[in-house]
Each structure stands twice: as C-alpha cells, then as structure tokens.
C-alpha cells in the first residue's frame, strides 16, 4: 500500500473554545504513524494565558488548576516541530481548526481525516472520530480506558482511523500519493443529506426548493461543501420554472 509507506504526525488539541482568534489550546497530543504503525506518542497540558470557560471544561474536563503550571504553546511548539520533522504530512480530524490553533507548526501538508471520512462514508450518520471508531468497528487499544475529548485519546483514535481509511482509499481508487490525496479530498464534495434544521436527515434532492433558495440568501457563511451541494441540487433537481 503506497499510502501507508509514509510517516504521519497525527495531532489533536483541546481548547478554551472554537474561535481560533479568541481561544487557545489547553492540551495538545501527537502520535507518530510510520508505515501504518503507531510508533511514538506525546501529550502535554498548555497554559492558555486566560481562564477556561465552563462550557469548554464541560467538553474536555480540564479546569484552570490543571494547566496553571503547564508550558505555553510558544514554549511547546519547538518540541512539536521536532516531533513532526520527519513526517510527510500532519494529520488531524477537522485539520483546519487544529492548524489554526497551532500557529508556528512546521511547514508540512495537512491531511484532514474528517474530509477523507466524508468522501469514503457519505452515508454515515456522524463523521466525528469517536463515532467513526465504533461505526467501523476499529480496535484502538491505546485509547482504551481514556476519556473521549482528551487530546491523546482522540489522537490515538484519529491515527487508527487514518491507517484504516488509507487502505480503503487505495481500494477505492483514490490518488496514490499523499499530496494528490489531499488535493482530492479538499475539493468541494456533494453532501448526501441535510444536516440541520427541520429537514435534518432528508436527502438533499427532497429538500424543498424554497428552503434551498432561502439558504443561498440567508446563510452567507455556508461552508464550501454545503454551498456546492445546494447549488448542485438547485441546478440539477429544480430546473428553471419547476
């Protein structure tokens, strides 16, 4: 398997919130995958330099006292860069977010396992990494006993997902080099069902035309996949005058 004959640095972060401009990492983990095998792992708390909101603590369970004596991200980045130095790509589940939370990382291609999962399993109800772990029946003994929504546990799960999906990507005829695969999964993709609102779970071709038209005007912040899907459905299922 050509895609497995590479080195990947799989990372995950826990943060004070979801806005990379306003929020900061409170924990980071990295797992090194070499030739399809997990070889090394690291994790550390990070002092974000600001209080951890209660809503964030409710997700990952970390509070101010846990991180008050931890190093800052700026102090930790050199170690992360060294850990990822030999990697052919950095991997994360929802990579754009982790990449934005980890400024200063070594310049490497980023592979998003969330987008790869959406390509390979469009019919799955959820593409969150822990949901995929159980949907696919993957064994992840490294994360057994660890709570979900902690950086190391999620990094281990993402690493196992990566190995599994790289095999399936090759079997599905997806591009055989890491840069080509990244380009392929970054292209806008058609979503199969509506994921929100009163039409949640409805195939896009069955969502009413007026609702789709409202989305194009009332949801200016749609992500690329959603915008691409809505425009495709309007153009192909609702012809002019229908």
Q: List the pLDDT tens digit at each of the 242 positions of the chain.
A: 688 999 999 999 999 999 988 999 999 999 999 999 999 999 999 999 999 999 999 999 999 999 999 999 999 999 999 999 999 999 999 999 999 999 999 999 999 999 999 999 988 888 999 999 999 999 999 999 998 899 999 999 999 999 999 999 999 999 889 999 999 999 998 888 887 788 988 999 899 999 999 998 888 888 888 899 999 999 988 764 44
On whether residue 76 sits in a domain, the answer given is yes
Whichever domain contains 67, its CATH number is 3.30.420.10
Q: Give the integer Cα–Cα distance in Å for 154 and 120.
A: 20
Write out pLDDT tens, residues 182-213: 999 999 988 888 877 889 889 998 999 999 99
Residue 239's pLDDT is what? 64
37 in a domain, yes or no?
A: yes
> Do 181 and 215 share a structural domain?
no
Token output for 37:
């095998």
Dihedral sign (CA 133, 60, 185, 191) = positive
Co-location of 14 and 87 in the same domain: yes
Is 242 inside a domain boundary?
A: no
Question: Are 51 and 139 part of one and the same domain?
Answer: yes
- Report the candidate in 4, 182, 5, 9 with the shortest Cα–Cα distance to residue 105: 9
Same domain? 168 vs 228 = no
For residues 53 and 163, membership in a common domain is answered with yes
- State phi, psi for 17 to the nearest 5 degrees: 170, -175
Which string of b and e fits 121-138 if b means at least 16 CB within 10 Å?
beeeeebbbbebbeebee
123 and 147 both lie in a single domain? yes
pLDDT tens per residue, range 156-181: 999 999 999 999 999 999 988 999 99
- Answer yes or no: is 119 within a domain: yes
In this structure, the answer to whether residues 71 and 117 fall within a common structural domain is yes
User: Do residues 95 and 179 share a domain?
Assistant: yes
Claim to verify: residue 203 and residue 231 sit in the same structural domain: yes
Q: By C-alpha distance, which of 230, 240, 242, 241 is closest to 205?
A: 230
In a domain, 21, yes or no: yes
Same domain, 202 and 152: no
Q: Can you read off the two tokens belonging to residue 211?
A: 């609702």
CA R_g for the chain: 19
Asked whether residue 191 is domain-assigned, the answer is: no
Say if residue 41 is in the same domain as residue 158: yes
For residue 192, being part of any structural domain is answered with: no
Listed in order, strand segments (DSSP E) in 127-170 are none
Q: Are residues 64 and 125 in the same domain?
A: yes
* Domain count across the chain: 2
DSSP designation for 223: -
Q: In what order do the strands lie in the sheet with 37-45?
A: 37-45, 25-34, 7-15, 89-92, 110-112
Widest distance between CA atoms in the chain: 65
Range of the domain at 131: 2-186
The Cα–Cα gap between 56 and 19 comes to 12
């Amino acid at each position: 398997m050509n895609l497995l004959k590479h080195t990947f640095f799989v990372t995950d972060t826990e943060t004070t919130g979801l806005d990379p401009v306003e929020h900061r990492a409170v924990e980071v983990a990295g797992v090194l995958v070499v030739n399809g095998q997990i070889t090394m792992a690291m994790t550390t708390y990070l002092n974000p330099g600001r209080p951890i909101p209660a809503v964030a603590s409710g997700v990952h369970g970390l509070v101010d006292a846990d991180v008050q004596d931890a190093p800052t991200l700026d102090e930790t980045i050199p170690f992360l860069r060294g850990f990822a130095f030999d990697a052919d790509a950095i991997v994360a589940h929802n990579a754009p977010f982790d990449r934005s939370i980890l400024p200063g990382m070594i310049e490497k291609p980023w592979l998003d396992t969330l987008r790869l999962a959406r390509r390979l399993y469009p019919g799955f109800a959820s593409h969150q990494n822990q949901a995929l772990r159980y949907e696919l029946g993957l064994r992840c003994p490294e994360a057994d006993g660890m709570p979900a929504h902690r950086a190391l546990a999620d990094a281990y799960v993402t690493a196992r997902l990566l190995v599994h999906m790289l095999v399936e990507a090759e079997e599905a005829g997806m591009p055989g080099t890491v840069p080509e695969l990244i380009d392929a999964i970054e292209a806008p993709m058609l979503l199969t069902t509506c994921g929100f609102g009163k039409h949640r779970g409805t195939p896009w071709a069955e969502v009413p035309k007026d609702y789709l038209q409202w989305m194009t005007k009332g949801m200016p912040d749609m992500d690329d996949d959603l915008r691409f899907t809505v425009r495709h459905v309007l153009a192909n299922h609702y012809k002019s005058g229908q």
